[in-house]
Structure 1
Amino acid sequence: MSNNTYKRPESVLILVCTRDGDVLLMERTRPRGFWQSVTGSLNWDETAAAAARRELREETGLKAGQRLIDLHRGERFPIVPPWRARYAPDARVNREHWFLVELASRRMIRLDPKEHRQYRWLPADKAAQLASSWTNQKLIKAWAGRRGSRRLR
């Protein structure tokens, strides 16, 4: 079987935030109550930056332009059993690449109703509490702790 038969075990996490410290989170349609930043898997033929731009546009309607910042950071995490069938039999870990898009202010977001139920702009501390994945929480806290610093970027 070719690689295209299976999902690539590599993804992006894009933190969309404002200069004032608000963070965008969206609630997935399934599982209900799962809140996250913009996320998505890389296609086999795409770079992490291209996937980040595509996912941002698909999930929010926003175009990144020059605002997309590759943080050159990320995490690796186990692929949980319910989703393992989507990946090659030997794939056990997903590599997540982190990106940042900082906006001047909150924007109206155009959700894909097949993927997300609603969105909220929240202060970073509240967003970190609501985010469902530990990697999303970690990125929000890192950004909030270093706002205005070049260390995260």
Structure 2
Amino acid sequence: MYMHKPYKIPESVLVVIHSAELDVLLIERADKPGFWQSVTGSKDTDDEALRQTAIREVFEETGIRIADETSPQFQASNFVLAGNLCDWKLSNVYEIYPVWRHRYAPGITRNTEHVFGLRVPREIAIILAPLEHVRHMWLPYREAADKCFSPSNAEAILQLPKYSTPD
């Protein structure tokens, strides 16, 4: 018997990963070469907190662990403090690209995306999920915005100076 993969929840996070110097990490999609983006991902369950979705997606897509100082991973080279993850309190509602609509329940055409920023050291280890992303790069935020295929992702990146936390 064929088991259908559960439909994606049309509520997601966009996490703009950046350095203190406002360089932005972009990752290239494995399923769409040339499509560069920030970390994105849908909630796993309706009751998953958006902050938890952001923490999970950042780890799944980049290998960066977000935790507090008491966490056993605190000494890891790809670890950042939870205080570096900032909910920008911005959300975008956008039309889901037709190529990805099959992942959602029939009739679902719009997604609500919540924007977060994550400040990391520029030299942090990036470990991509090879089935999702094939390359990464750091770019100054304006160049990163120009390289994104998603207009909402580009707009979020352009907001970085307003939302980034000073040292």
> Is the pair's TM-score, using the shorter chain for normalization, greater than 0.5?
yes
Aligned residues: 146
Match of 1:10 in 2: 11
> Any conservation in 1 of the 2:64–2:125 contact (CA below 8 Å)?
no
Instruction: Report whether the alignment pairs 1:106 with 2:123.
Output: yes
Find the partner of 1:132 among 149, 154, 165: 149
Give 1:81 shift.
2.4
Aligned residues: CA RMSD:
1.9
Match of 1:60 in 2: 62
Match of 1:46 in 2: 48
Give 1:74 shift.
1.6
- In 2, Cα distance between the equivalents of 1:50 and 1:74? 16
Match of 1:23 in 2: 24
- In 2, Cα distance between the equivalents of 1:127 and 1:5? 33
User: Over residues 87-129 of structure 1, what are the superposed CA-to-partner deviations in whole Å (9 max), with x where a residue is unaligned?
Assistant: 2223221000000111243322011111111100111111111
User: Over residues 119-146 of structure 1, what are the superposed CA-to-partner deviations in whole Å (9 max), with x where a residue is unaligned?
Assistant: 00111111111111101100111113x2
Give 1:84 shift.
2.1
Distance 1:38 1:96, change over 3 A: same
> Any conservation in 2 of the 1:8–1:41 contact (CA below 8 Å)?
yes
SS in 2 for 1:24: strand
> Any conservation in 2 of the 1:60–1:111 contact (CA below 8 Å)?
yes
- Code of the residue aligned with 2:123 in structure 1: it is R
- In 2, Cα distance between the equivalents of 1:27 and 1:21? 19
> Any conservation in 1 of the 2:20–2:120 contact (CA below 8 Å)?
yes
Match of 1:76 in 2: 93
SS in 2 for 1:105: coil
- In 2, Cα distance between the equivalents of 1:35 and 1:15? 12
- In 2, Cα distance between the equivalents of 1:149 and 1:102? 8
- In 1, Cα distance between the equivalents of 2:48 and 2:110? 19
> Any conservation in 2 of the 1:106–1:121 contact (CA below 8 Å)?
no
Instruction: State the identity as a percent.
Output: 40
- In 2, Cα distance between the equivalents of 1:114 and 1:29? 6
Match of 2:73 in 1: none
